[in-house]
């Protein structure tokens, strides 16, 4: 389905039959990506005595339980409730789902004993664009991100001033292909999370972070339409399905 939309007084054509799915599906196997020292998620049929809720085993329906942690087992979107004493719900605080989004690609730089993304890099990549959402693809960008075991890998992270810069630019929704915008082991500092949600000032309840996405290499840096959909969990985070649409003018 083709549609016309106007962004910043420019009319674009959008083909909604050509979605670009940035989510990583949850699978009940060791092929699922995992972070934060957990085991793989499980999707398995309900069992009562000798009865197994699987058509292949004689049931009339497939009736599965799903055991997962949104933060550890795939693409998820979180709100400020992730780091506050009161557990605010992503389902309550994400009420709009279509956004002007900018895809940028960053290469981590050496910082102390780590790799990180700096404010200078973000400034250069974003340029004069002031989108509602920023999608960060990190390099190297291989399909192994879809099944990577992230625990104890000390992944690259966003410096707090880089995250604060995005906030100051008016960005409300930050998407990245790593398990966290912060360092894996930071002794609970959570500098980028706190900078993003402005926890030392007026908290941004309507801002979100989406982690563990995958941006195909065929997606060029630039402006897109983002549809950010979440599962309706009353929780600080929920599995999500961010979809990009190409804008043509």
pLDDT of 202-246, one tens digit each?
A: 999 999 999 999 999 999 999 999 999 999 999 999 999 999 999
Res 115: pLDDT: 97
Contact 214, 33 (CB under 8 A): no
Res 249: pLDDT: 86
pLDDT at 96 over 90: yes
CA distances 104 to 42, 127, 195, 208, 222, Å, are 33, 10, 20, 17, 7
pLDDT at 79 over 90: yes
How far, in Å, CA of 56 to CA of 77, rounded? Answer: 34
Mean pLDDT (whole number) for 72-88: 97
How far, in Å, CA of 225 to CA of 218, rounded? Answer: 16
pLDDT at 174 over 90: yes
Paired tokens of 169: 């630019």
> Between 3.90.79.10, 3.50.30.50, 3.30.930.10, 3.90.1150.10, what CATH number should domain 2-26+74-248 receive?
3.50.30.50
Check whether the bond before 147 is cis (ω within 30° of 0). Answer: no
* Residues forming beta bridges with residue 14, ordered by sequence position: 3, 247
Full-model pTM: 0.97
Give the helix, strand, coil percentages of the chain, each rounded to 5. 15, 35, 50
Q: How confident is the model at residue 60 (pLDDT cuts 50, 70, 90)?
A: very high
- In this predicted model, what pLDDT tens digit does every residue of 22-59 receive, in sequence order? 999 999 999 999 999 999 999 999 999 999 999 999 99
CA distances 137 to 88, 140, 178, 212, Å, are 28, 9, 9, 10
Paired tokens of 185: 């082991």
Check whether the bond before 16 is cis (ω within 30° of 0). Answer: no
Q: What percent of the chain has pLDDT over 70?
A: 100
Phi (first) and psi of residue 230, to 5 degrees: -125, 155
CA distances 244 to 14, 122, 147, 170, 238, Å, are 10, 20, 21, 20, 19
Mean pLDDT across the chain, nearest whole number? 97
Mean pLDDT (whole number) for 8-24: 96
Q: How confident is the model at residue 104 (pLDDT cuts 50, 70, 90)?
A: very high
Q: How confident is the model at residue 1 (pLDDT cuts 50, 70, 90)?
A: confident
């Amino acid at each position: 389905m083709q549609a016309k939309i106007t962004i910043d007084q420019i009319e674009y054509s959008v083909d909604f039959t050509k979605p670009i799915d940035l989510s990583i599906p949850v699978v009940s196997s060791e092929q699922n990506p995992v972070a934060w020292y957990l085991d793989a998620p499980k999707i398995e049929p309900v069992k009562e005595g000798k009865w197994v809720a699987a058509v292949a085993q004689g049931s009339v329906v497939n009736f599965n339980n799903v055991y997962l942690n949104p933060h550890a087992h795939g693409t998820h979107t979180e709100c400020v409730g992730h780091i506050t004493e009161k557990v605010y719900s992503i389902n309550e605080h994400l009420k709009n789902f279509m956004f002007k989004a900018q895809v940028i690609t960053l290469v981590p730089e050496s910082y102390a004993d780590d790799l990180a993304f700096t404010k200078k890099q973000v400034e250069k990549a974003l340029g004069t664009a002031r989108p509602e959402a920023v999608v960060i693809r990190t390099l190297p960008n291989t399909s192994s991100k879809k099944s990577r075991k992230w625990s104890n890998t000390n992944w690259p992270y966003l410096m707090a001033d880089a995250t604060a810069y995005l906030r100051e630019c008016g960005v409300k929704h930050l998407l990245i292909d790593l398990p966290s915008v912060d360092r894996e082991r930071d002794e609970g500092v959570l500098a980028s999370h706190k900078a993003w949600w402005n926890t030392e000032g007026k908290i941004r309840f309507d801002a979100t972070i989406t982690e563990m996405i995958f941006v195909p290499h065929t997606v060029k840096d630039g402006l897109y339409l983002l549809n950010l959909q979440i599962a309706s969990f009353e929780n600080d985070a929920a599995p999500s399905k961010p979809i990009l649409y190409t804008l043509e003018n």
